[in-house]
Homo-oligomer: A and B are copies of this chain.
Amino acid sequence: MLLRERTNLGSGMMVAGLSVLALVSWASWVGGAAPSALTHQETAHPHLTIYYWPFPARAHSLLSMCAVACAPCTHVHSYDRIAAVASANGGSMEGGGVGDTFAPPIVVDEDNQGFAISQSVAATLYVGQRLGFDAAVPNVPKSVQYMVDLADFLAQIPGGEGPTLIFDEELGRKLAHFHTSGRFDAWMQNIERSIIGPYYYGERVSYVDFYLNQVLKWIYQRIYRQIPGAENVFGAYPKAMGVQASVSALDVTTCPVLGSPFPLTTSFPSPDEPFSKPFLDTLANTSIFR
């Protein structure tokens, strides 16, 4: 079921129990105490500008929180404007900021004196707090651990990160080892145990849930959906799948992000080229997905 949007949830369920879960009105999952996030009106939310490339990837959780909260958020995705605020590209912050944001995603909060923040984990924490998605979080440092765990999981999966990866036999061997060594399962079980259910912190969605959706969608769309037999790679982790499906369902029923060229149904674009035969053959020979 992972990555199917809410409108598609009526057919082809891979995990029967979750279809019911995901078809429940999404509003009930947000919890009753955040009405401003549910009215589809612009409220007192800050105006946020999110600088990121023209696909979601590391900005997915940021854009998604804005969409679900109906916050007046602008997605700026031209190279020149990103370079103007990213110090890795020589930029300093517009409006006299300190120039200590290295690379996108970069969030500028127009209603907090142009405060700027980068790094996806830190920015997700900031935007989550600004938009009220922190109400369920009892302990901020532990929430940071959960997000860094997810970022580490993404970084450690061979083929997960990097725009120029070549899906060749060597990468296939590494990905096979990631599974046969038990590392994939160890990470996912750790993530699964972190989740109370249905969301990380129970009944109410938090910024950590948005971050999980970003990372699992990315991994799935980047790698597994293109590997025969791997469609259900997250099937053994129903809590994580539940979070991912529920947050995805929120995305598509709420407000668009200004200026964004893509829908939030995609976290990371698929590689331009289909996976190579040696890559797929290597995985098939290890039988890791049977």
Give chain A's interface residues, CB within 8 Å of chain B. Answer: 87-88, 90, 98-102, 115, 117-119, 121-123, 125-126, 129, 139-142, 144-146, 148-149, 152, 183, 186-187, 189-191, 193-194
Contact = CB atoms under 8 A, between A and B. Distances in A.
16 contacts: A87-B189, A87-B193, A88-B186, A99-B190, A100-B146, A101-B190, A102-B149, A102-B186, A102-B187, A117-B142, A122-B142, A122-B148, A123-B141, A126-B139, A126-B141, A129-B141
Q: A102, A186, A189: which has the most chain B beta carbons within 10 Å?
A: A102
Nearest to A140: B140
Given A118-B149, A122-B144, 15 more contacts: A87-B190, A98-B194, A100-B146, A100-B194, A101-B145, A102-B152, A119-B148, A119-B149, A119-B152, A121-B144, A121-B148, A122-B148, A123-B145, A126-B139, A144-B144
Nearest to A107: B141
Contacts of A140: 125, 140
Query: How many protomers of this protein does the assembly include?
Result: 2
B100 A122 contact: no
A149 B148 CA distance: 13
A123 to B, nearest CB: 7
A140 B100 CA distance: 15
The prevalent SS among residues of A at the interface is: helix
A139 B112 CA distance: 12
- Closest CB pairs A-B (n = 4): A126-B141, A122-B145, A122-B144, A100-B194
A157 B141 CA distance: 26
A82 to B, nearest CB: 15
Contacts of A145: 101, 117-119, 122-123
